[in-house]
Structure 1
């Protein structure tokens, strides 16, 4: 069963804002359901909402409780722009597949925004433009090629050279790509809102409960729990973030540590349009503003999973992130009021793994989210709910475990 990871440490900025409480029950007896979801973070919440909307009975469990895993560690730049640039992804998996992955990511952000509006979830959902700055991974000419590639795929993009970038946004960089209709939101409030909507449709939530065994047969899955009772379901969805179970096949998946800071409120100092900003660099810096004028900035990623080492570096990493932020925007007060560390899973292509596990058609998993966790969670909720409902998603092969 899962290797237990301390998925985050420090004090994420989202704890400055109150999220609704999500009631849970104690698992005191055996239960039966259509779908069991393991994990009650953003992925599990989206899955629960999608499945209950389709009329399935749903049980969700979490070994900590709702909203307590890696979800609060996200900086919640909900972008359709995949970590792997379209030009690079095209070389890895072919142009047609790369374009389709980018289009599906674009559609997922549109769908998520519509779903939030339809459900009336109060999570500060706002459409935001984004700037992808030239850096050591992609210079101005490569950014220009990336802009052309996106347009050819039907994805809006505007190339900004140094002068218009400086004039419009006050940023002194050689070039950038300007995109529109990404999404800013509060991830804890969104997760709570989705879980509460699912609960209103009779979803049952049990925590703290850990899944200890999974036994699947042709027509059902029986999951043993740390408390003793079993949960029998027609399907199980593993939405456990980066804590992977033994049954999930080995893939080109690795765990990366990241760090982030949140500044004091300073709405008058925020750059024009409060655009999301991220760099075409290794390691890259990424930043956004909150609705009340804090700046959230993260980066300095490193490939390791030692939580003690990760946490011991937080003070130094926070200072380095604040310094980089200050170089980009000298007028900002970059002193961290919040600093935290987190872990996330990445894949070689930047695309997640989503779908039924090989040889286990009733077990579905989602993993390898990289920097697009919330966007990919939306795609996962669409693909998995279609599969459980007996329909085929046209893009499922792009994300399949045996791709």
Structure 2
């Protein structure tokens, strides 16, 4: 039973809203976190999904659309784990750089990573539109810029790798929206996206 309108008195709110030490900014925009009552009896299902973050919810959603009987379990409220603390930007820029994927694996593997990220952004955009989800989804440009301990050569290697894997990118010598001295380079990833993770 959904209890988003009034939190159960038996649940310690701060412990269940987030698995982290602090509440995320995303929780400010929702009226109440979404809790469900604990199971009190055995149930039958085709598939059990553990975790009510974006990965678990997406998996359950896709399986249910395919006609499977799905049960999702979560030990807190929906989005109370890492998903509730995400930056909520959807981008093809990787923490594990494309040139590193090429080095560790090969170019086709790096291309697969790029394609999967592009398709994931499109999938979220289509899902938002199909279900008329008011989650502030917006197309924006993304930027990858250097950490102070990194070098321009590293960024150039990544830029060349993004071209090899088929991404549309641009090297800029200034970081939009960030005041910095001249020569602060970045890679622009056009047509990325952002959204409100908990409204989604």
Give the TM-score taking structure 1 as reference length.
Answer: 0.42
Task: State the 1:19 CA deviation.
Answer: 5.4
Give the Cα–Cα distance (whole angstroms) in 1 for the partners of residues 22 and 35 of structure 2: 25
Query: Equivalent residue for 1:400?
Result: none
Distance verdict in 2 for CA 1:56–1:71, change over 3 Å = same
> Which of 185, 190, 198 is 1:175 aligned to?
185
Task: State the 1:169 CA deviation.
Answer: 4.5
How many residue pairs get matched? 181
Q: CA deviation digits over 1:236-270, x for unaligned, max 9?
A: xxxxxxxxxxxxxxxxxxxxxxxxxxxxxxxxxxx
Give the Cα–Cα distance (whole angstroms) in 2 for the partners of residues 145 and 66 of structure 1: 39
Is the Cα–Cα contact under 8 Å of residues 60 and 70 in structure 2 kept in the other structure? yes
Query: Equivalent residue for 1:44?
Result: 56
Is residue 69 from structure 1 mapped to residue 81 from structure 2 by the alignment? yes
Structure 2 unpaired stretches of 5+ = 1-17
Is residue 13 from structure 1 mapped to residue 25 from structure 2 by the alignment? yes
Task: State the 1:21 CA deviation.
Answer: 5.8
Give the Cα–Cα distance (whole angstroms) in 2 for the partners of residues 189 and 169 of structure 1: 26
Is the Cα–Cα contact under 8 Å of residues 82 and 105 in structure 1 kept in the other structure? no
Give the TM-score taking structure 2 as reference length.
Answer: 0.80
Task: State the 1:135 CA deviation.
Answer: 3.2
- SS of 1:75's partner is coil
Structure 1 unpaired stretches of 5+ = 1-5, 191-403
Task: State the 1:142 CA deviation.
Answer: 3.0
Give the Cα–Cα distance (whole angstroms) in 2 for the partners of residues 19 and 52 of structure 1: 27
Give the Cα–Cα distance (whole angstroms) in 1 for the partners of residues 77 and 177 of structure 2: 41
Distance verdict in 2 for CA 1:23–1:141, change over 3 Å = closer
> Which of 34, 37, 40 is 1:28 aligned to?
40
Is the Cα–Cα contact under 8 Å of residues 81 and 106 in structure 1 kept in the other structure? no
The structure in which a higher percent of residues are strand is: 1
Give the Cα–Cα distance (whole angstroms) in 1 for the partners of residues 189 and 31 of structure 2: 30
